[in-house]
Amino acid sequence: MDFDACQIEAQKLRRELTEHSYRYHVLDDPVIDDQTYDKMLRRLIDIETRYPELVTEDSPTRRIGAPPLTAFDTAPHSVPMLSLDNAFNDQEILEFHARCLKASGAHDLTYTVEPKMDGVAVELTYENGVLVLATTRGDGYTGEVITENIRTIRSVPLRLMDNKTSAPDFIEVRGEVIIRHKDFVLLNQRRLDKGDAVFANPRNAAAGSLRQLDSNITAQRPLTIFVYGVGVVRGLSFSSQALMLEYLADLGFPVSPLIKKAISIRQVLENFKHLEGLRSELAYDIDGMVIKVDDISIQQALGEKIKSPRWAIAYKFPAMEKTSKIVDIRVQVGRTGTLTPVAELVPVNIGGVTVSRATLHNADEIKRKDIRINDTALITRAGDVIPKVVKIIPAARTGEERVFTMPETCPVCGSRVKQLDGEAAVKCINVTCSAQIKERIRHFVSKKAFDMDGLGKKLVEQLVDKKVVSSFADLFHLDRDTLAGLERMGEKSADNIIAAIAQSKTVSFARFIFALGIAHTGEHAARLLAQKFADLDALMAADQQAISTIHGMGDTTAGAVTGFFSIEENIKTVKNLLDAGVCITNDLYGDAHEKDNAVSGKTIVLTGSFETLTRNQAKARLLALGAKVTSSVSKKTDIVIAGSKAGSKLAKAEKLGVTVWDEARLVALIG
Domain 86-316 CATH assignment equals 3.30.470.30:
yes
Structure confidence at residue 501 as a pLDDT band (50, 70, 90): very high
DSSP 168: P
Does 467 appear as a known binding residue? Answer: no
Phi/psi of residue 618, nearest 5 degrees: -60, -45
383 has pLDDT over 80: no
Query: What percentage of the chain has pLDDT greater than the value 90?
Result: 60
Phi/psi of residue 185, nearest 5 degrees: -60, -45
Does 38 appear as a known binding residue? Answer: yes
pLDDT-wise least confident of 115-119, 367-371, 422-426, 486-490: 422-426
pLDDT at 321: 86
Structure confidence at residue 591 as a pLDDT band (50, 70, 90): very low
pLDDT at 339: 95
Query: What is the average pLDDT across 127-153?
Result: 93
Four-CA torsion 196, 201, 205, 207, nearest 10 degrees? -140
pLDDT at 489: 86
pLDDT at 28: 66
595 has pLDDT over 50: no
Does 413 appear as a known binding residue? Answer: yes
CATH H-level superfamily of 321-409:
Nucleic acid-binding proteins (2.40.50.140)
Looking at per-residue pLDDT, the higher value among 412 and 199 belongs to 412
Query: What is the average pLDDT across 108-114?
Result: 97
Instruction: Give tens-digit pLDDT for 616-625.
Output: 667 767 766 6
Structure confidence at residue 671 as a pLDDT band (50, 70, 90): low
Q: How far apart are CA 334 and CA 320, in angstroms?
A: 28
Segments making up each domain of the chain, as ranges: 3-64, 86-316, 321-409, 434-585, 603-670
What residues act catalytically? 116
β-bridge mates for residue 609, sequence order? 644
- Residue (of 511, 509, 526) closest to 561 by Cα position: 526
Do 360 and 366 touch, CB atoms closer than 8 A?
yes
Instruction: Give tens-digit pLDDT for 514-549.
Output: 999 998 898 888 988 998 888 899 999 999 999 988
Helix (H, G, I), strand (E, B) or coil at 211: coil
Does 137 appear as a known binding residue? Answer: yes
Does 321 appear as a known binding residue? Answer: no
pLDDT at 616: 66
Do 85 and 291 touch, CB atoms closer than 8 A?
no
pLDDT at 593: 43
Hey, which of 162-166, 290-294, 627-631 has the most confident mean pLDDT? Answer: 290-294
Query: What is the average pLDDT across 84-109?
Result: 94
Query: What percentage of the chain has pLDDT greater than the value 70?
Result: 96
Question: What are the C-alpha distances in Å from 26 to residues 108, 125, 159, 276, 278?
Answer: 35, 19, 14, 24, 21
Does 428 appear as a known binding residue? Answer: yes
657 has pLDDT over 50: yes
Structure confidence at residue 384 as a pLDDT band (50, 70, 90): low
Q: Say which residues have a Cβ less than 8 Å from residue 172's Cβ, sequence separation at least 6.
A: 77, 78, 79, 123, 124, 125, 126, 230, 231, 232, 233
Domains 86-316 and 321-409 share a fold: no
Does 114 appear as a known binding residue? Answer: yes
- Alpha-helix residue ranges (DSSP H) falling in 291-448: 296-302, 363-369, 434-445
Looking at per-residue pLDDT, the higher value among 650 and 180 belongs to 180
592 has pLDDT over 50: no
243 has pLDDT over 50: yes
Query: What is the average pLDDT across 90-118?
Result: 96
Looking at 3.40.190.10, 2.40.128.20, 3.40.50.10190, 3.40.50.300, the CATH number of the domain 603-670 comes to 3.40.50.10190
Does 410 appear as a known binding residue? Answer: yes
Identity at 63, one-letter amino acid code: R
- Alpha-helix residue ranges (DSSP H) falling in 26-118: 34-50, 90-104
- Residue (of 541, 542, 540, 514) closest to 527 by Cα position: 514
Do 513 and 582 touch, CB atoms closer than 8 A?
no
The class level of CATH for 434-585 reads mainly alpha
Looking at 1.10.287.610, 3.40.190.10, 1.10.730.10, 1.20.1250.20, the CATH number of the domain 3-64 comes to 1.10.287.610
